[in-house]
Copies of this chain bind each other. A is one copy, B any other.
């Protein structure tokens, strides 16, 4: 029942979230307001069709609201085209694009599984290696004599001189909130206290008594995934890790759509900054819970992300980053009080934001560099951090070049008809028999391959599955080197849908969606565009370095961990190299951020290397287009691998 003429009740199922929405808002806007998990890749432009929802009709009894399809604005031509392109089972069933349908009355909205972002199975991890402990925040156990009537002295003055005496430092300052609470804490601890000193300059924390452990938190803000690492600054160990989807996803799936959102919406920047800060606070709370401390016990933080994530985190409008001449607000590292950002850790703590390199090659890539140290190698290394933006660095101790390749979200399952993120139900491995063209596949969440199961329960294909599928299709002759289907083949899996060829990976009965899961010609094109963008970048980097081969390929990032090196080589995603020279290092960006907490020399190292890497702006390279077209093809020597 409408509370007034212009406010309507909207209920989302299966989440059960409900709220009062102003008339005229789209269902997608309502979903965002109510925090409902609903995909939108194109940013609400009636293009991607990912925000498909079903409107239920009739009385929703316990709620006493009457939902009706006519409680939404009518379907217009643009929406109709997208709906039919997505082969929706007819409008009769009440499917709508959430971004197109405007609310005119109470509605009950069902969000189908395919339209939910789901909770990605995040697999960004790394093995911590031995680190040199020289943390940016150090703790000192300070004992003061109680003040005497004839020589009371001021508490901070005495604490300062004692801490300076113990640490060999001088000119220590004190953070304001620490100063305000200082007298109580000194007395609470009976004149014994633990002082946290930041960068040998400032007392940023004070606790009563002698406290043993000391914690910092590293944050890697991915376009898709937020990762938090709780670092024990006394042992050099990562004590806990926690992940979360980047809550900015509803505002756009890639950096370009988020920039557009910030530019087009008056409070878009504020919303996105608040979302990511809230998520970091939530991760901090989780991490603290995991090891049994309080969030306020975290005395340091290091943050990395690509240049756009970096700007959004800092609340800096990415407007100028998004248009020529693409100037970032800053590339240098910066230290900001956590409280100025709204981050709730120790009140006096600083957040160290690592430097960016240039363009979109951001602090995350710098963190990968200080984790892997190619600048200390004689060998020629290629480091590839595959994501929606793929950054690559090529070089050795003599020189490093870097570039950012607009691979798009295809490797994360987007823009692929049955693509999905690496969540339960995703096909992550594909093998095709070259003779029979029969397929076996493995689904995330199942221990066995499909052939050993009654129903593999597949819902779609994630990035590593897509790369496997395309590589195997090429290797087994289903695809030609130019990416076209070999239509001479006789197999029921290869067929035409509306005149477009597609190959069936999973039959409907092997899925949880009761539809055949296929790779279409359009999907292959999308993968080709992505791999073309990456490989063209690699070729230009080779030219800048004047090399033709590399000694080693380092795959950074969670996705890189699960990629099948053989498939990547078959597809021509990576330059020719022996498969055993390909190493996956997990989330090296997160690890690099941790290193800057354990050892402050790593901060200086990061600043140095960020300025040292030569950046290639692919957009302005004359040869890029030529290389890109060249790189769309699959390599001819594919079967060597």
The residues of A with any CB-CB pair to B shorter than 8 Å are 147-150, 152-157, 160, 173-174, 176-177, 179-180, 182-184, 187, 314-317, 319-320, 324-332, 334-337, 340-341, 356, 358-359, 617, 620
Docked-complex contact A150 and B617, CB < 8 angstroms? yes
Name 16 A/B residue pairs within 8 A (Cβ), A-sorted. A147-B327, A149-B324, A150-B617, A152-B325, A152-B327, A154-B329, A154-B356, A155-B330, A156-B329, A156-B332, A157-B332, A173-B335, A174-B334, A176-B314, A183-B329, A187-B320
- CB contacts (< 8 Å) of A337 on chain B: these are 176
Docked-complex contact A176 and B336, CB < 8 angstroms? yes
Docked-complex contact A154 and B316, CB < 8 angstroms? no
Given contacts A173-B334, A173-B335, A332-B160, contact A149 B326 (CB under 8 A): yes
A183 to B156, CA, bound (A): 39
- CB contacts (< 8 Å) of A150 on chain B: these are 617, 620
A359 to B187, CA, bound (A): 19
A101 to B275, CA, bound (A): 52
Docked-complex contact A154 and B324, CB < 8 angstroms? no
- CB contacts (< 8 Å) of A153 on chain B: these are 327, 331
Copies in the complex: 2
Q: In the complex, how many angstroms separate the beta carbon of A531 from the nearest chain B beta carbon?
A: 27
A571 to B160, CA, bound (A): 45
Docked-complex contact A329 and B160, CB < 8 angstroms? no
- CB contacts (< 8 Å) of A358 on chain B: these are 152
Docked-complex contact B329 and A179, CB < 8 angstroms? yes
Docked-complex contact B335 and A157, CB < 8 angstroms? no
A323 to B254, CA, bound (A): 61
A149, A177, A317, A620 pick with most chain B CB within 10 angstroms: A149
Docked-complex contact A154 and B325, CB < 8 angstroms? no
- CB contacts (< 8 Å) of A173 on chain B: these are 334-335
A325 to B335, CA, bound (A): 39
- 4 smallest A-B Cβ distances: which pairs? A156-B330, A154-B331, A149-B325, A154-B328
- CB contacts (< 8 Å) of A324 on chain B: these are 149
Docked-complex contact B176 and A327, CB < 8 angstroms? no
- CB contacts (< 8 Å) of A328 on chain B: these are 152, 154-155
Docked-complex contact B149 and A316, CB < 8 angstroms? no
A319 to B149, CA, bound (A): 15
Contacting residue for A179 out of B180, B314, B319, CB 8 A: B314
Q: A154-B328, A180-B314 are in contact. List 12 more A-B contacts (CB 8 A).
A: A147-B325, A149-B617, A152-B359, A160-B332, A173-B335, A176-B314, A177-B340, A179-B330, A180-B329, A182-B330, A183-B327, A183-B329
Q: In the complex, how many angstroms separate the beta carbon of A618 from the nearest chain B beta carbon?
A: 12
Docked-complex contact B329 and A155, CB < 8 angstroms? yes
- CB contacts (< 8 Å) of A316 on chain B: these are 179-180, 183
Q: In the complex, how many angstroms separate the beta carbon of A303 from the nearest chain B beta carbon?
A: 13
- CB contacts (< 8 Å) of A617 on chain B: these are 149-150
A193 to B183, CA, bound (A): 43
A617 to B314, CA, bound (A): 50
- CB contacts (< 8 Å) of A152 on chain B: these are 325-328, 358-359
Docked-complex contact A334 and B155, CB < 8 angstroms? no
